[in-house]
């Protein structure tokens, strides 16, 4: 009885395996044969556009120091809350503000006569990353942030967030690829009759970094007034596509 069961199971598994093998191999072989004799041109098209950025990302930090760690943190919290309150008055939404880094570090005094450094105080730093959608106000926002308690501004990044511009650049890259393919086909005495494959899109465009640090000025200035001209300039948007065109025989 057991022997019959083993034989039946073995035959059944062989049949299933053969059926699965045939069902997966046949279409692949057919596709390969179908495409193997097509004359194909593979080209890369590129589109480039210079435009004025309409978005900015900045890092605003509140840095406080005190010999008492609790007092350093309390002062930092007070100024950070005032900073966030000020940012909201410029129509910056909560989702466009987030604390990225928060540090509490001891401050050491190094003495050449004493190999062991001595802790003389504590430094608390709270970094708020802000997205500004109206960059015409960026200088004003920086000034207001400093007056509210921010004493460190780093890494202003300008970038473009505009679907119409991205679409325009992508269309230009497709037209560029099409033109290249037509030139190649024409020189070979053939014509483009179809498209086999398309891939690509927008390039990874890094925002323009602007190094700006007001830490020293803000700690030493007594006027509390700042003139902060920020000029975004222009940035470059790129798109690229890879297209395989089928030519006439």
Whether residues 77 and 193 fall in one domain: no
> 177 and 43 in contact (C-beta within 8 Å)?
yes
Confirm whether 178 is domain-assigned.
yes
Looking up tokens 């890879």, which residue turns up? 242
Cα of 247 vs its chain's centroid, Å: 38
Q: How far is CA 67 from CA 72, 81, 106, 122, 197, in A?
A: 8, 22, 9, 6, 66
Q: What is the pLDDT along the chain (249 residues), one digit of tens a residue?
A: 444 434 334 333 333 343 333 333 322 222 223 455 788 999 999 999 988 889 999 999 999 999 999 999 999 999 999 999 999 999 999 999 999 899 999 999 988 777 788 899 999 999 999 999 998 899 999 999 999 999 999 888 888 888 898 899 999 999 999 999 999 999 999 999 999 999 987 654 555 555 555 554 444 444 445 556 677 778 888 999 999 999 998
Q: What is the pLDDT of residue 34?
A: 43
Whether residues 156 and 179 fall in one domain: no
Q: What is the pLDDT of residue 30?
A: 24
- The boundaries of the domain holding residue 174 are 40-50+164-203+241-247
Q: What is the pLDDT of residue 218?
A: 43
Whether residues 104 and 226 fall in one domain: yes
Whether residues 184 and 91 fall in one domain: no
* Composition of the chain by helix, strand, coil, percent to 5: 40, 35, 20
Whether residues 73 and 122 fall in one domain: yes
Q: What is the pLDDT of residue 112?
A: 76
What gap in Å lies between CA 75 and CA 62, rounded to an integer? 10
Whether residues 67 and 146 fall in one domain: yes
What gap in Å lies between CA 46 and CA 183, rounded to an integer? 16
Whether residues 221 and 148 fall in one domain: yes
Whether residues 126 and 189 fall in one domain: no
Confirm whether 175 is domain-assigned.
yes
Whether residues 76 and 144 fall in one domain: yes
Confirm whether 11 is domain-assigned.
no
Q: What is the pLDDT of residue 68?
A: 97
Confirm whether 9 is domain-assigned.
no
| Domain tally, the chain | 2
Whether residues 129 and 214 fall in one domain: yes
Q: What pTM, to 2 d.p., does this model score?
A: 0.65
> 154 and 130 in contact (C-beta within 8 Å)?
no
Query: Where residue 94 sits, what CATH number does that domain have?
Result: 3.30.70.2970
Whether residues 45 and 71 fall in one domain: no
Whether residues 104 and 214 fall in one domain: yes
Q: What is the pLDDT of residue 27?
A: 28
Q: What is the pLDDT of residue 213?
A: 55
Confirm whether 29 is domain-assigned.
no
Confirm whether 35 is domain-assigned.
no
């Amino acid at each position: 009885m057991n022997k019959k069961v083993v034989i039946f199971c073995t035959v059944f598994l062989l049949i299933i395996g053969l059926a699965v093998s045939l069902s997966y191999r046949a279409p692949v072989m057919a596709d390969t044969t179908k495409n193997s004799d097509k004359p194909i041109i593979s080209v890369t098209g590129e589109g480039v556009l210079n435009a004025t950025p309409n978005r900015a990302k900045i890092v605003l930090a509140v840095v406080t120091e005190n010999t008492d760690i609790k007092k350093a943190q309390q002062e930092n919290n007070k100024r950070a809350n005032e900073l966030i309150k000020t940012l909201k008055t410029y129509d910056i939404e909560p989702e466009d503000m987030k604390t990225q880094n928060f540090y509490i570090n001891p401050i050491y005094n190094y003495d050449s006569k004493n190999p062991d450094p001595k802790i003389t105080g504590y430094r608390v730093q709270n970094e708020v990353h802000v997205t500004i959608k109206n960059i015409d106000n960026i200088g004003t926002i920086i000034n207001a942030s400093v007056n509210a308690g921010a004493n460190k501004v780093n890494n202003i990044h300008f970038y473009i967030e505009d679907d119409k511009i991205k679409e325009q650049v992508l269309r230009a890259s497709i037209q560029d690829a099409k033109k290249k393919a037509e030139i190649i086909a024409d020189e070979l005495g053939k014509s483009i009759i179809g498209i086999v494959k398309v891939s690509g899109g927008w390039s990874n465009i890094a925002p323009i970094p602007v190094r700006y640090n007001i830490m020293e000025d803000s700690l030493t200035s007594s006027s509390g007034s700042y003139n902060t001209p920020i000029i975004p300039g222009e940035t470059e948007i790129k798109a690229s596509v890879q297209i395989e065109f089928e030519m006439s025989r």
